[in-house]
Amino acid sequence: MSDGRTDGPAWVRDAIWWHVYPLGFVGAEPRGEATQPVRHRLGHLTAWLDHALELGASGLALGPVFASETHGYDTVDHLRIDPRLGGDADFDALVAACRGRGIRLLLDGVFNHVGREHPAFRAVLEQGPAAPTASWFRLRWPEGPWAPGIEPAYDDFEGHGHLVALDHASPEVEEHVVEVMTHWLDRGADGWRLDAAYAVPPAFWSRVADRVRQRHPDAYLMGEVIHGDYTRAVTDGHLDSVTQYELWKAVWSSLNDANFFELDAALGRHAALLDRFAPYTFLGNHDVTRIASKVTDERHLAHALVVLFTLGGTPAVYAGDEHAFRGVKEDRAGGDDAVRPPFPAGPGDLSPVGLPTYRLHQELIGLRRRHRWLHTARSRTLHLANEQLAYEVASDGERLVVVLNVADVTAEIPAPGAGEVLAGAAERAGNRVRVPGHGWAVLTG
């Protein structure tokens, strides 16, 4: 990163992720119990790998698979597969199934905090300030001598007392995270999504990333960052990418409000990010309302997909979105359940209602694969109005033109240099493109 830019490992240039939340996908029990028998459910995912390939994806981005108390983000053992999903042999079988299909595997690492039942924190509760793992946490003990039953106050994750924050200034914590990351990379993973990366000091990530890459120089390290300075998170943390939440919000919000000025502003900032790294782009994940529920006019789901697959970055499709699954996230206990449903035994059991959306995904992913330079392409706005947007994307001497119309009527949109229609519906008229109401098109440049 001497020049301030990272492109990540070479294979990421062609990566398109299919993102799965495993505990929900396999219909696991809501709580993990220490005494529960191992349920060999990871194989359920194997039956869907060909679906991911047929969609056009080349990578499987897995949510948490390690032993946890409930939802996977309250880890109790980073080195053990959650018994609700299976064991080591099940993980190895999934890795082999991915390898046999040329599918990359991204794991979800929760290294900002642990569950209260994590042995390192249990030792603190049982042994007090003298516990060998007391240095793992940011603790505040009450005055006076310690006795069994006395708990410290501790930093947690965003007010969730059952998620105990780690002390990232602790050498022991750094050692543990490096051990975990290299262990699973040794076992066949290709990279890590770093959960709540925004809550961890970038200096910690930089030390960990440098050490992990000594063993695995081709590992892809991507951080979950919602707000703030995305470029600094990447450069200071020595990461390859971060989640592009600003673009996610601008896409559905501008479509719902018929206000492409919001998207245009986001596209300008997105292009600036691409000068430094390729963001991880998405329209849905396990933490947000599904895009088919988020857009208020279902005709505009296509427009959102067009934006995702024509902009620079590394795109991800949240499992089910390719079939227009609905699901609204609610701010309450169990409020994520609707966006983390169980999946049937195989894709043949899905309703045919979602097939048009699935085929549109295939069409647009296929277009992207035929123009692999889109991974680092920059966009430039050609025409902007509340209900119409035209932009070009260009890189390596190549160019495409994208036109979007969310008005009820046909619009003639200025699009200089637009050529043949590759996807969507439009007619060229000189330097303008005629697009039907609620229509879109991707054209050669």
List strands edge to edge, sheet with 160-165: 113-115, 160-165, 156-157
Distance in angstroms (rounded) separating the CA atoms of residues 3 and 295:
40
| Residue written as token pair 């719902």 | 256
Give the pLDDT confidence score for residue 7 in this predicted structure. Answer: 85
Residues in the chain, how many? 445
Percent of the chain with pLDDT over 70: 99
Domain regions of the chain by residue span: 10-377, 380-444
Class of CATH domain 380-444: mainly beta
**372 Cβ contact list (under 8 Å, min separation 6):** 13, 14
> pLDDT (tens digit, 9 = 90+) per residue, 247-300?
999 999 999 999 999 999 999 999 999 999 999 999 999 999 999 999 999 999
Tell me how far CA of residue 100 lies from CA of 46, 53, 81, 200, 225, in angstroms. Answer: 11, 12, 22, 36, 32
> pLDDT (tens digit, 9 = 90+) per residue, 314-327?
999 999 999 999 99
Binning pLDDT at 50, 70 and 90, where does residue 3 land?
Answer: low
Distance in angstroms (rounded) separating the CA atoms of residues 121 and 76:
9
- Taking residues 21-32, report their average pLDDT: 96
Query: Does 4 have pLDDT greater than 70?
Result: no
318: which strand partners?
19
- Taking residues 24-36, report their average pLDDT: 90
Residue type at 125 in one-letter notation:
L
Evaluate the CA torsion angle 176, 192, 329, 263 in order and state its sign: positive
Give the pLDDT confidence score for residue 283 in this predicted structure. Answer: 98
- Taking residues 44-54, report their average pLDDT: 97
Distance in angstroms (rounded) separating the CA atoms of residues 286 and 265:
26
Tell me how far CA of residue 369 lies from CA of 57, 281, 334, in angstroms. Answer: 10, 16, 38
> pLDDT (tens digit, 9 = 90+) per residue, 130-143?
999 999 999 999 99
Query: Does 239 have pLDDT greater than 60?
Result: yes
Distance in angstroms (rounded) separating the CA atoms of residues 314 and 291:
18
For 10-377, CATH gives 3.20.20.80
**Contact indicator for 1, 238 with CB cutoff of 8 Å:** yes
Distance in angstroms (rounded) separating the CA atoms of residues 75 and 402:
43
Binning pLDDT at 50, 70 and 90, where does residue 397 land?
Answer: very high
> pLDDT (tens digit, 9 = 90+) per residue, 433-445?
999 999 999 999 9
Mean pLDDT of the chain: 97
Binning pLDDT at 50, 70 and 90, where does residue 2 land?
Answer: very low
> pLDDT (tens digit, 9 = 90+) per residue, 92-128?
999 999 999 999 999 999 999 999 999 999 999 999 9
Distance in angstroms (rounded) separating the CA atoms of residues 206 and 199:
14
The H or E element spanning position 260 is helix 260-274
> pLDDT (tens digit, 9 = 90+) per residue, 206-230?
999 999 999 999 999 999 999 999 9
Distance in angstroms (rounded) separating the CA atoms of residues 135 and 200:
16
> pLDDT (tens digit, 9 = 90+) per residue, 52-100?
999 999 999 999 999 999 999 999 999 999 999 999 999 999 999 999 9
Distance in angstroms (rounded) separating the CA atoms of residues 346 and 32:
25
- Taking residues 174-196, report their average pLDDT: 98
